[in-house]
Amino acid sequence: MIYFDNSATTKPYPEVIESFIKVSTDYFGNPSSLHGLGVQAEKLLSAARKQMAELLKVKSSEIYFTSGGTESNNLAIKGVAQAYANRGKHIITTAIEHPSVGDACHSLEEQGFELTYLPVDEQGRISLSDLELALREDTILVSIMHVNNEVGSIQPIAEIGSLLKRYPKVLFHVDHVQGAGKVDLPIRESNIDLCSISGHKVHGLKGTGILYIRDGVRIQSLFHGGNQETKIRSGTENVAGIVALSKAFRISMNNQQLYHDKMQQIRDYLYEGLMKMDGVLVNSPLNGVLHILNFSVPGLKSEVLLHALEAEGIVVSTTSACSSKKRTSSKTVEAMFHDSVRSESVIRISTTYSNQLEEAEKVLAAIQKIVANLEKIMRVAK
């Protein structure tokens, strides 16, 4: 099997599994308990928080553990909206956010908040002038993803942060789920107030995540109960998962440097091959991330091509994993190109550090063969 669906989830590193088992077995106490086992668990929790803070170059007090990207995004957006509603009820985001951001924003609209959804160009990027024009006196939050999960476009986060410095009443949230461990994001230098990260996208475990909240930013909690995470996120902490997450993130950040050239080689090979292929349109921008490549075969439904590749032992995806079972049309590709036929035939290839060029060669050959065969069948059917 060739696994090219790493943006949906990554395989945990062996060291991550080992640490999870070790902590679950030997340090299973509740970190809120006062006895020895509880104290041991709390020390591991603090150590993991410290390591994550050092890797992100922020304070330990600004790291909050969650169950993943969806919870982090919801906590950031809804938490800020409720905490600052007396200041204003206007929020700005983009037309191509992950469903955990888009649906959270839609839920706020039902509560009386006003949302502005910024358009993107054919590179999948917003315009800074559009953002500045959208800012209002009652704007309280701008939420813009770093790396798009479908096509791999990179938003100008540093430039956005610089612009928002002139609007100190506006908070800046970044969904860093697809960029974490793969694309550098200097949180402090980019003037980011809140930042979401998910464990299973960096070869950690599902059900683990982080929300960075800059000191001084107020958040209204979504959960109430035991007052864990300084009352921001109640619920007994998943100590083993959190320790595993900190280890996975450290390894991934190291691999980002070690395997950059190999990732670039694989991406270039696939990109150039797809660009030359008849009947194929590449949706990912040339200057996008190294690990995501999105293309369309207009006239062929995404799921047909996906299952044909699966029959060849190749695992890819269509749209976001959180949306693929509900619909096959890509809202991101539609927003970029305004072409419904193109957006209904998308395939996303997403690689990671362990993938090899030989795998990319097999995948490209399989795509070429399948597309040619399916087009023959379509011509005969006509």
Give me the catalytic one of 128, 158, 304, 322.
Answer: 322
CB 96 within 8 A of CB 332: yes
Q: Tens of pLDDT along 68-87?
A: 999 999 999 999 999 999 99
Q: Where are the domains of the chain?
A: 2-8+258-381, 14-254
The label of the residue with tokens 């050092």 reads 54
What is the fold of 2-8+258-381? Answer: Aspartate Aminotransferase, domain 1 (3.90.1150)
**Pick from 219, 198, 240: which is nearest to 23 by CA?**
240
Is domain 14-254 in CATH 3.40.640.10, yes or no?
Answer: yes
Q: Is the dihedral of CA 335, 338, 344, 345 positive or negative?
A: negative
Q: Can you tell me the distance from the alpha carbon of 8 to that of 316, in angstroms, rounded to the nearest whole number?
A: 9
Catalytic residue flag (residue 322) = yes
Q: Can you tell me the distance from the alpha carbon of 283 to that of 216, in angstroms, rounded to the nearest whole number?
A: 40
Please list the helix, strand and coil fractions of the chain in percent, rounded to the nearest 5, in that order.
45, 15, 45
Q: Can you tell me the distance from the alpha carbon of 303 to that of 33, in angstroms, rounded to the nearest whole number?
A: 50
The label of the residue with tokens 């440097």 reads 257
Interhelix angle 99-109/69-83, nearest 10 degrees = 30
**Pick from 126, 132, 199: which is nearest to 170 by CA?**
132
Q: Can you tell me the distance from the alpha carbon of 23 to that of 243, in angstroms, rounded to the nearest whole number?
A: 8
Q: Can you tell me the distance from the alpha carbon of 106 to that of 95, in angstroms, rounded to the nearest whole number?
A: 12
196: β partners: 175, 211
Q: Is the dihedral of CA 18, 238, 61, 70 positive or negative?
A: positive
Q: Can you tell me the distance from the alpha carbon of 372 to that of 215, in angstroms, rounded to the nearest whole number?
A: 56
**Pick from 280, 303, 304, 308: which is nearest to 293 by CA?**
280
Q: Can you tell me the distance from the alpha carbon of 252 to that of 51, in angstroms, rounded to the nearest whole number?
A: 13
Measured CA to CA in angstroms, residue 158 lies from 141, 163, 212, 220, 225 at distances of 16, 9, 17, 27, 37
CB 242 within 8 A of CB 208: yes
For residue 63 the two structure tokens come to 């790291």
Q: Can you tell me the distance from the alpha carbon of 227 to that of 234, in angstroms, rounded to the nearest whole number?
A: 5
pLDDT tens for each residue of the chain, 382 residues long: 999 999 999 999 999 999 999 999 999 988 887 898 888 999 999 999 999 999 999 999 999 999 999 999 999 999 999 999 999 999 999 999 999 999 999 999 999 999 999 999 999 999 999 999 999 999 999 999 999 999 999 999 999 999 999 999 999 999 999 999 999 999 999 999 999 999 999 999 999 999 999 999 999 987 887 778 777 887 878 999 999 999 999 999 999 999 999 999 999 999 999 999 999 999 999 999 999 999 999 988 899 999 999 999 999 999 755 544 555 689 999 999 999 999 999 999 999 999 999 999 999 999 999 998 876 665 544 4
CB 371 within 8 A of CB 313: no
At 90, phi and psi to the nearest 5? -115, 130
Q: Tens of pLDDT along 251-307?
A: 999 999 999 999 999 999 999 999 999 999 999 999 999 999 999 999 888 999 999
Q: Can you tell me the distance from the alpha carbon of 126 to that of 321, in angstroms, rounded to the nearest whole number?
A: 23
Q: Tens of pLDDT along 161-191?
A: 999 999 999 999 999 999 999 999 999 999 9
